[in-house]
Amino acid sequence: MNPKMSMVLPLPQLKLENNDEYENRITLRLYIEKLLNQKVGRYLEIISGIASLASVGIYIVSTYFDSVEWLATLDIVVCSLYLTEYLLKLFAAQHRLQYIFSDFAIIELLTLFPLFTIQSVGNWNYLQRLINISRILRVFRVIRMINKLQQLSDIEYGGVTRQIYVIFSTVTTIIIVTAGVLYAFEFPKRQELIENDPNKGCSNQIDKCHFHEMIYFTIVTLSTVGYGDVIPYSEEGRVCVIVLIIIVLVVIPKQMNELIRLMGLQSVYARSFYKPLADFI
């Protein structure tokens, strides 16, 4: 055997590039994706959530006044922030078409609706109703902000505690969003009924619609009490109630079953220090 053939050729050594050279080689999309997956993206969502919380609160308060002129300006500022966040996530997404049709991306597009309707619209037409619905949908961004704050914190929540939070946030979101959608349809309908009444609503006992009244009606509907003192007058409001009942019948029992399952996994013997639940003599 030729000794030259039996020689093992040494493998070429790979040169490890430093971090600076590696950062220069990655594309802009990967760089933005990296930022969004780190704390920068979380902070951006937290800022967006704070803006959403403030805008939702201002919108609810504005429903008790006849007209708020600067509300449209606030929508432009907040929706511009939403649009910037949406475009960054869309550009950084690996599968952009899949991102566009994801659940939360669709909600983000719906919250951008006031930005594309800057021009003046008629009083309480369908375009104005859709704008009001998009304003109340910002509650979903607030819930996402709370989830991001929990991820940034060092507090670890158990399965039961986290499931209780999920149920509470789900019920709260359903109540606020449903009340906002009902208000968007019921306010113009009641205004129409009052204007067509010669006694200005006194004969039909129809009062002006308020946001807290819609919250009260939603809670009564969720609890299946049904006092009947508040009813939807518009067809869209009745459809909204039907959708509400269907969602509650599907979502809430599923989450309650998960809570019961997690509570069944708990045991006093699994504690670090055993302590009986009751003292026996």
Structural domains counted in the chain: 2
Same domain, 78 and 100: yes
Instruction: Give tens-digit pLDDT for 211-224.
Output: 999 999 999 998 88
| 164 and 127 belong to one structural domain | no
Do 161 and 139 belong to one domain? no
Please state, in angstroms and rounded to a whole number, the distance separating the CA atoms of residues 162 and 158.
Answer: 6
Note the pLDDT of residue 52.
92
Residues 118, 199, single domain; the answer is no
Tell me: do 162 and 68 sit in the same domain: no
Counting Cα atoms < 13 Å in the Cβ hemisphere of 204 gives 16
Q: How far apart are CA 202 and CA 206, in angstroms?
A: 7
Does residue 133 sit in the same domain as residue 72? yes
The CATH number assigned to the domain holding 113 equals 1.20.120
At which of 119, 138, 154 does a domain end? 154
Is 12 part of a structural domain of the chain? no
Would you say 227 and 244 are in contact if contact means Cβ atoms under 8 Å apart? no
Give the number of other Cβ atoms within 10 Å of residue 73's Cβ.
11
Regarding whether 168 and 253 lie in a shared domain, the answer is yes
* pLDDT tens per residue across span 137-170: 999 988 888 877 776 665 556 678 888 888 998 9
Query: Residue 253 belongs to a domain with what CATH number?
Result: 1.10.287.70
- In whole angstroms, what is the distance from residue 159 CA to residue 265 CA? 10
**Same domain as 115, residue 181:** no
Report if residue 186 sits inside a domain: yes
Q: What percent of the chain has pLDDT over 90?
A: 20
Per the structure, the complete domain to which residue 192 belongs is given by: 156-266
CB atoms near residue 60 (< 10 Å):
18
pLDDT tens across 26-84, in order? 678 888 888 888 878 888 888 898 999 999 999 999 999 887 778 888 888 899 899 99
| pLDDT at 127 exceeding the cut of 60 | yes
167 shares its domain with 214: yes
**Is the residue at 278 inside a domain?**
no
- Please indicate, yes or no, whether residues 55 and 169 belong to a single structural domain of this protein: no
Q: What is the pLDDT of residue 11?
A: 44
pTM to 2 decimals? 0.77
Look at 239 and 226; give whichever has higher pLDDT. 239
Same domain assignment for residues 133 and 192: no
